[in-house]
Amino acid sequence: MLDRRLAIVLGVALVVALGSGAAVLQLLQAAETDARPSTRTVLVASASFPEGHRLSAGDVEPREMPVAAVPADVFTSIDSIVGRVTRVPVFRGETMVLGRLAPSGSGAGLEVRITPGKRAMAVRIDDVAGLAGLVQPDSRVDVVLTVGDGVDAPPHSRMIMHNMRVLSVGAETERASATTNDEAPVAQASALASTATLEVTPSEAEQLALATNQGRIQLVLRGFGDPETVVTSGASIGDMLPEFAEALRAQRAASMPSYATPALPAMPSVSAAPVATAGATPRSDSTVVRVFRGDQTTEQRFARRDSSDGAR
């Protein structure tokens, strides 16, 4: 009898324990559900891409992200991102947002890299700097202008622009292949000359165009993270080699044509007959004047007037 009662008590206790455990489990699941934040499906990069890359469907993948952490301009549809071009480098796992991509319809070229309000202008660079790879895309350079050929004017150089961004360099610059969904290239171009493309404002473009036509420009590479602008007074050959500058001045003076004073035409000369002295032969009552005109000589006779006639 006692064993039966004990079995009943143990059975009731087990049922109560199971019921309590189920209730606690439901409460915990409900609390976890309430604490779990809501998520949203967004698109992230499946690999790292350089700027100017045309995106395809395989370049992105969906991922769940808490709603509170989702950017306002995020892409959520694959159809809306296929064919768009990256404006800046994109890293793997990075959320695809509108600011990372060029406007819809843009080509995969240099134009996607130009900052709004600025322009891209190509200039010739020094062969040494170009071949040695000193200047690279996204480098920062200063522009030095040198004028004067040493004959008509002494050479003079000055730094005219500072901290200019290099968009592309010479043969290293290749327009990225624009591809469609079937990966067929539709556009490709390359630079044929040793040039550097600088990002300039419209006013800087005018100054740079004038500088390239009036003298020779060179690019000076700046260090990373060095935005300081140093104002210089320029350099001339006389500052470094005064004796050389003096030699140039003497050479220019010697090469200048000398202008001789032209000879004046011969003036007519007048000669009078000698006047007789006292006690000599009586003088004649006329005077002979010789007039020279070129190689011809003429004589004119004038009546002499006695001084006694004027006294009358």
Residues 130-144 pLDDT 10s: 556 778 888 899 999
In Å, the largest CA–CA distance within the chain is: 205
Q: Report the range of poorest mean pLDDT among 6-20, 245-259, 262-276.
A: 262-276
Mark whether 244 and 122 lie in a shared domain.
Answer: yes
Mark whether 248 and 297 lie in a shared domain.
Answer: no
Residues 101/84, Cβ–Cβ less than 8 Å: yes
Residue 107 half-sphere exposure, CB side, CA atoms within 13 Å? 11
Compute the average pLDDT of residues 68-96: 88
Mark whether 90 and 199 lie in a shared domain.
Answer: no
Q: Which residues face 74 on adjacent strands? A: 97
d(CA 304, CA 301): 9
Mark whether 183 and 213 lie in a shared domain.
Answer: yes
Mark whether 123 and 166 lie in a shared domain.
Answer: yes
Mark whether 148 and 233 lie in a shared domain.
Answer: yes
Residues spanned by the domain of 183: 118-255
Residues 201, 221, 219: CA angle, nearest 5 degrees: 60
d(CA 11, CA 4): 11
Q: What's the length of the chain?
A: 312
pTM above threshold 0.95: no
Residue 113 lies in a domain: no
Compute the average pLDDT of residues 276-285: 52
The domain total for the chain is 3
The mean pLDDT value of the chain amounts to 74
Residue 12 lies in a domain: no
Mark whether 237 and 303 lie in a shared domain.
Answer: no
Residue 176 lies in a domain: yes
Q: Report the range of poorest mean pLDDT among 8-12, 226-230, 268-272.
A: 268-272
Mark whether 127 and 243 lie in a shared domain.
Answer: yes
Q: Which residue blocks in the chain are alpha helix, DSSP H?
A: 2-35, 127-132, 202-214, 237-240, 242-255, 307-311
Residue 110 lies in a domain: no
The residue type found at 159 is M
Assign residue 69 the CATH number of its domain.
3.90.1210.10
Query: Does residue 151 or residue 227 have the better pLDDT?
Result: 227
